[in-house]
Amino acid sequence: MAQISSSPTPEPDGSRGSRSSAGLLTFGIAFALFFAGLALHESLHLVVLHLLGGQGSIIVRPWRFALVDLSLPSLHVQPVPALDFGRHLAVNFFGPALAAVLFAIPLLYVRDRRLRLALGASVAVLIFYAVIESGYLLIDSYLNLEVGVLVTPEFNYGVPLAICITAAVAAAFGRSRPRRSPRPPVVRLG
């Protein structure tokens, strides 16, 4: 009986090594794409800011964790002067949303399941940022609520990490669909 594997190159001895390597490869690609997506989404914040007539720059600042004594450098767009609500909302949403669109385009062409899962994870992370960045502004402005957890590094890096892990698990344990060969065209005589 043939063994079905989620990896296109199963191990000769039929071990599960191919599944774990598919998961690790997917996680590694998704993790690397996370940093590319983060840089792209911050750059697109700046592009949108300039398109809306604003000025600003990308800055690197320490971001302090809430639960542990740790700071990580993080990229942020600093508008000068501060933006009105509408432009601020547009900058917050469209930076990561446009980055998500750019990361989604290769999904139309990539056929390798591991790479598709890693790209899909990157798109999901960027959508998460579009929702959380604009959602925080809306909650703060309209509901006058301070939802501090939304701006912590634990949440902003933890959710993307969970998405990357989910993609890796899907690559390792998910079943790939068998590829169908294209049907030949039907030729009708008469």
Each residue of 33-55: pLDDT tens digit?
999 999 999 999 999 999 999 99
* Per-residue pLDDT, 39: 93
Residue type, 102: L
Residue 75 burial by Cβ neighbours in a 10 Å radius (0-12, 13-18, 19+):
middle
- Of the chain, the percentage scoring pLDDT greater than 90 comes to 56
Q: Which residues contact 69 (CB under 8 A, 6 or more apart)?
A: none
What's the pTM value of the predicted model, to 2 decimals? Answer: 0.80
* DSSP state for residue 47 in the 8-state scheme: H
Say how far apart CA 80 and CA 95 lie, in whole Å: 17
Rounded to whole angstroms, the Cα distance separating 132 from 22 reads 30
Grade residue 12 by pLDDT with cuts at 50, 70 and 90.
very low
What's the CA gap between 39 and 74, in Å, rounded? 10
Paired with 64 in beta bridges are 71
CA 62 to each of CA 38, 44, 73, 74: distance values in angstroms, whole numbers, following the listed order: 16, 21, 4, 6
pLDDT tens-digit map of 135-156: 988 988 888 777 777 778 889 9
Percent of residues in the chain assigned helix, strand, coil, to nearest 5? 60, 10, 30
Write down the pLDDT at residue 150: 79
In the chain, where are the structural domains located? 19-54+81-173
Which residues are paired to 60 by β-bridges? 75
Bond preceding residue 81 cis, omega within 30 of 0 = yes
pLDDT tens digit string along 56-113?
A: 999 998 888 888 888 888 888 988 888 899 999 999 999 999 999 999 999 999 999 9
**pLDDT at residue 13 tops 50:** no
pLDDT of residue 177: 56
